[in-house]
Structure 1
């Protein structure tokens, strides 16, 4: 593909890339990877609650940046993550008092995918998510916010970022129920990793992350299917509100069943509406104006995207930030909310056009290498996206240890023949 004729400033090394690299280093030793992260400048966008009524004494501005992180092994793309980060500034005046300013940061993980070309079994995608969540501490230094909202919608698809990877025999594709379980486990680990204090702060009181999960059409009594045996199930508890606690004191992440909003609240006043999301599409309908959160969940459970036999899940978490980690991120690269060296949304979309081009093919090793080279060449020639080399140093996990295959034994069958009394044949 021909390179762009426009000149673009080289991107600085992003804190996102540094933290993803740090997370990847914890994978089993002996592997080499490269990390590349594309990020845009902050752009003014619509509010995440566009139909929330505001008074004349209330002003709100929302800014967005887009993140695209790639992990390569031997020049071949093996994993990718796309996220959307939103910063909302609210100013409210009350009488003669000075205006009150509030800043909120929310990120939405939009896509996570693997190509199937990873050499060896290791939790690559989980490490990528953990590193990204850890990088959100950069907002502590830039905006002094105490926490960041982490949101994602889990829906099973054979491929998200890497075209034709569904045809790669080495790619493991999860069904809807397994995907919900995987995301719950992955976010649990990533939130623990992301909230972990710096070594010199290990003795300070820590704030545990709080995470919500809701599977439209399911009740809290069914939550053990999604949380797994090692997670709080909430079985037997009444669903008193949208965030009925299912926490266990032994867990560092407090899991709750439901959306993080009161069931009786007006949905348009509190539910965040992210791009390309079933909730956003439902709330865009004119007759949704008076819906409560409870009514929204009812509509989701029978919607085309979340109902009709589909198993999908919404995850929403609050990740507490550590000021010292945020200061480190600012020292790595002074990005904050500045735009110097950052791409525009238009340039970002050009990268997506190349990534989703019909010529891209990750169905085999040869085609995946060719497609990876094509995309990386475009990043080099058009935007000079820097990369970080990573050598893994972590211990081996149980999944990585070679085990002798067990001989296949026939299934045990109850033999009831000795208990059957046969009738003697009567000879006339």
Structure 2
């Protein structure tokens, strides 16, 4: 089976121009995760993998490398319902690469790798690819917005860009899916009707190739019944189905840096009296946990087992998305969008009733595979990228690229040193970020905007992983993590239509203004 690194390098072969790409792919080993459906009763068993992709470019063999694109994603595996969720957390570029940007090609190759059954590393029947599109000046490359060559897409154009990316992925994998497979595409712009959303994205897509391909559904996928939801079905040993204690928490997943998660938390802690904090857990003392005979009482056990469901059992998915239109993240003056691709591989044997077919993996979902790294290594690289370097100038970007790439290789060789963080003086920023309400955000922070952490979720502790975390080696680095490819194709003119990167636009064409010469009046 082709690994992710080789699949991404193969996708970059068709890019125009002559340059060399250097790719680093970090995929963590699976670990138990209880935050995907925190309010589901009973809890859904899921396993999480972190994915970090860093792409650097070298224009000539003698020129230094510089990062051009980064992708951060999460892969959730739910073996009980044979489902997986690929969530695209962040996509960013520095604007310091050659034209055209490789961002779109890299993202399309990444999504196609998981959507194609022949290359997907997860054996499941149902795959959900989800993301929340929100335009920002920078995400993964600190201070890259200060570089004059970076031209981030605005809110509407970013939503149009993601819609076009999804369309390209579907066109790429359609012939590779089984004849009985079912594929659906959904998108929703909160606060917009379907007519308004289609009109806005069609205008934004005028820079891109013609819109041909699959049919899109305007709305959300959480009310449809053709494809079972990842956590809406409780399975017993006899193979029968039973939905126990239904609430909204069993339908809509919660991701980090996603406005749905914060809204779910508020609904879970809202009752008839309004929003309130969850009750504090009573301490385990002799007076309230034992009786006169010394036996344990039901007080502590009752507090531990209760979860604040609030309005989750009353709000339907349609009502949830209607109320999302009034959330601050969706009405702060910027257009945001939710995009979902759902693929069901065995639609003929399911009949839309949610029964699991014969697609099963004999390998434990927690077993690490070749080329995977520990989650701690992945976190250390992201922390170093977000706090130790910056990309405001070409010189700083070159130094940052060398530092991060050396860090990754050093961690694989057993060298644990991390470069010293760079502290810089505040700089004025001209662009307002979402939610700033007319005030400039602090220029000293390198942390991108994100949704606040969950509100006191009382989740049970996760049991330890029976498999030890993989130890990266230099062989793993050379075979699975790092790779390079030389591209030598005909260059493409900037006047030609291409799918630009998510944070890059071509240089504006020069406009020549002609002056009108006034006709002189003849003397009488």
TM-score, length-normalised on structure 1? 0.73
Structure-1 separation of matches of 2:516 and 2:52: 51
> What are the ranges of 5 or more consecutive residues in structure 1 without an aligned counterpart?
1-12, 91-101, 232-249, 323-333, 416-428
Question: Residues 25-424 of structure 1: matches in 2 within 5 Å?
Answer: 25-46=13-34, 48-54=36-42, 60-74=44-58, 75-90=65-80, 102-119=81-98, 121-136=99-114, 137=116, 143-193=122-172, 195-197=173-175, 205=179, 207=181, 209-228=183-202, 251-262=212-223, 267-285=248-266, 286-287=269-270, 288-289=311-312, 290-319=314-343, 338-340=367-369, 341-357=371-387, 359-383=388-412, 384=474, 385=477, 386-392=481-487, 396-397=491-492, 399=494, 408-410=512-514
RMSD: 3.5
Contact kept, 8 Å, 1:210 with 1:317, in 2: the verdict is: yes
Does the CA contact (< 8 Å) of 2:18 and 2:491 recur in 1?
no
Alpha-carbon contact 1:302-1:308 (below 8 Å) kept: no
Q: What number of residue pairs does the alignment pair up?
A: 352
CA distance in 2, matches of 1:207, 1:381: 44
My pick for the range that moved more, 273-282 or 160-169, is 273-282
The one-character-per-residue Cα deviations of 1:286-310 (angstroms, maximum 9, x if unpaired) are 2241222222223322212121322
Counterpart contact for 2:2–2:119, Cα < 8 Å: no
Of 19-28 and 143-152, the range deviating more from structure 2: 143-152
Rounded Cα–Cα distance in structure 2 between residues aligned with 1:349 and 1:406: 44
3-state SS of the aligned residue for 1:311? coil
For 1:141 and 1:410, the matched residues in 2 are separated by: 57
Moved more, 284-293 or 167-176: 284-293
Deviation at 1:229, TM superposition (A): 5.9
Alpha-carbon distance, 1:259 to partner = 0.9
Greater shift, 138-147 or 60-69, is seen at: 138-147
How far 1:389 sits from its partner (Å)?
Answer: 1.2
Q: By how many angstroms is 1:133 displaced?
A: 1.0
Inter-partner Cα distance in structure 1 for 2:46 and 2:516: 63
Report the Cα distance in structure 2 between the residues aligned to 1:207 and 1:255, rounded to whole angstroms.
17
Spell out, residue by residue over 1:153-203, the C-alpha distance to the aligned partner (whole angstroms, 9 max, x if none): 01111001101000011111122122111221222223323x1545xx9xx
TM-score with structure 2 length normalisation?
A: 0.60
